[in-house]
């Protein structure tokens, strides 16, 4: 299996620094290949290695190189069409989205904590607490996973993402109802709590066109931060949408018997979730189509065809692939 893999990697202009360590792998026994791949062609090269059956007999590992001084690497990046910062390594996106959709104890804890912080922010009319709750909330993970699952038509990931959202939000709302009831019981809340007296946070239960627009563009930004090499924008996404505050407001209003306020917050929550998913799916779909076009062009490469047609042997092969950032 090492021969066709080496042939494929050596003939690809976006691959450099290819190293073969014969017999280096012990479990399973086989060869070890190291290579550096331009980020733009990371997924297409990985797909080629998959076609050779490497994951069945061995493994493919990936790691990012933050800094590299190499003229060969520069030539590999120049050979690959596009910009490294715009490239999407789909295997990395899939792995990250699967991790973020786990209905774990830590996920539930963050959901409850975020909503409790937002509830206090609503009661005290403190926007800084609302912002803090948005940052703590982990709900974007399942939302991003749902978008990836829809675009790639992965039913199991859709179910996992929906389960995390369907359990996380109700549990957080119930915790908020309980906390608000306790605050009311110990007389920490005025007898006549009026949302109109809280002008800094009453936007949470008053959805409008701008709230939907912000949620939509935030969904685009969130997916771009997930798929690109630069993910610092994700924090800005988290504090741009009012999913956690709206869910917390449902609990606060329900505990205090304000049906109108709870209904407004529920509408805000639904609109934000829908806008985020629509924006995320649209963004991922466009990125996926770009990748499909790149993949088709790569498949037409004569050097690639000759390498993939080569006969393979049952020896295991481990191929760590290092993607170069720029």
- Indicate the helix (H) or strand (E) that contains 315: none
> What percentage of the chain has pLDDT greater than the value 90?
36
Task: State pLDDT tens for residues 120-163.
Answer: 999 988 989 999 999 898 998 899 999 999 998 888 999 999 99
- Residue 238 has a pLDDT of 65
Decide if pLDDT at 322 tops 60: no
> How many whole angstroms separate alpha carbon 133 and alpha carbon 120?
10
Q: How confident is the model at residue 235 (pLDDT cuts 50, 70, 90)?
A: low
- With vertex at residue 126, the alpha carbon angle to CA 235 and CA 199, rounded to the nearest 5 degrees, is 110
pLDDT, average across residues 165-172: 96
Residue 218 or residue 302, greater confidence: 218
Q: How confident is the model at residue 86 (pLDDT cuts 50, 70, 90)?
A: confident
- Please tell me whether residue 150 adopts helix, strand or coil conformation: helix
How is residue 38 annotated by DSSP? E
pLDDT, average across residues 189-198: 69
> What is the model's pTM?
0.82
The ranges assigned to domains in the chain are 2-88+297-324, 92-289
How is residue 66 annotated by DSSP? S
Task: State pLDDT tens for residues 255-293.
Answer: 988 888 899 999 999 999 999 999 999 999 999 988 888
- Residue 313 has a pLDDT of 43
């Amino acid at each position: 299996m090492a021969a066709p893999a080496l042939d494929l990697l050596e003939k690809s202009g976006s691959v450099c620094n290819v190293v073969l360590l014969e017999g280096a792998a012990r479990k399973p026994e086989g060869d070890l290949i190291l290579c550096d791949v331009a980020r733009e062609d990371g997924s297409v090269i990985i797909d080629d290695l998959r076609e050779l059956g490497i994951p069945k007999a061995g493994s493919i590992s990936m790691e990012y190189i933050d800094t590299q001084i190499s003229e060969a690497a520069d030539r590999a990046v120049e050979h690959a069409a596009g910009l490294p910062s715009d490239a999407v390594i789909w295997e990395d996106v899939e792995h990250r989205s699967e991790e973020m959709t786990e209905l774990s104890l830590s996920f539930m804890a963050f959901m409850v904590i975020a909503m409790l912080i937002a509830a206090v922010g609503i009661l005290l009319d403190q926007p800084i607490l609302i912002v803090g709750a948005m940052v703590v909330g982990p709900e974007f993970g399942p939302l991003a996973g749902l978008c990836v699952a829809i675009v790639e038509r992965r039913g199991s990931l859709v179910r996992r993402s929906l389960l995390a959202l369907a359990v996380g939000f109700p549990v957080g709302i119930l915790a908020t109802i309980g906390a608000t009831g306790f605050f009311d019981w110990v007389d920490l809340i005025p007898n006549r709590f009026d949302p109109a007296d809280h002008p800094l946070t009453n936007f949470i239960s008053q959805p409008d066109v701008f709230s939907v627009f912000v949620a939509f563009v935030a969904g685009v930004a969130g997916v771009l931060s997930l798929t690109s090499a630069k993910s610092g924008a994700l924090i800005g996404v988290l504090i741009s949408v009012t999913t956690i505050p709206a869910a917390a407001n449902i609990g606060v209003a329900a505990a205090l018997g304000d049906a109108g306020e709870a209904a407004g917050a529920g509408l805000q929550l639904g609109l934000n979730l829908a806008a985020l998913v629509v924006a995320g799916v649209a963004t991922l779909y466009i990125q996926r189509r770009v990748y499909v076009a790149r993949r088709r062009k790569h498949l037409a490469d004569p050097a690639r065809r000759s390498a993939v047609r080569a006969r393979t042997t049952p020896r295991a092969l481990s191929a760590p692939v290092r993607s170069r950032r720029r």
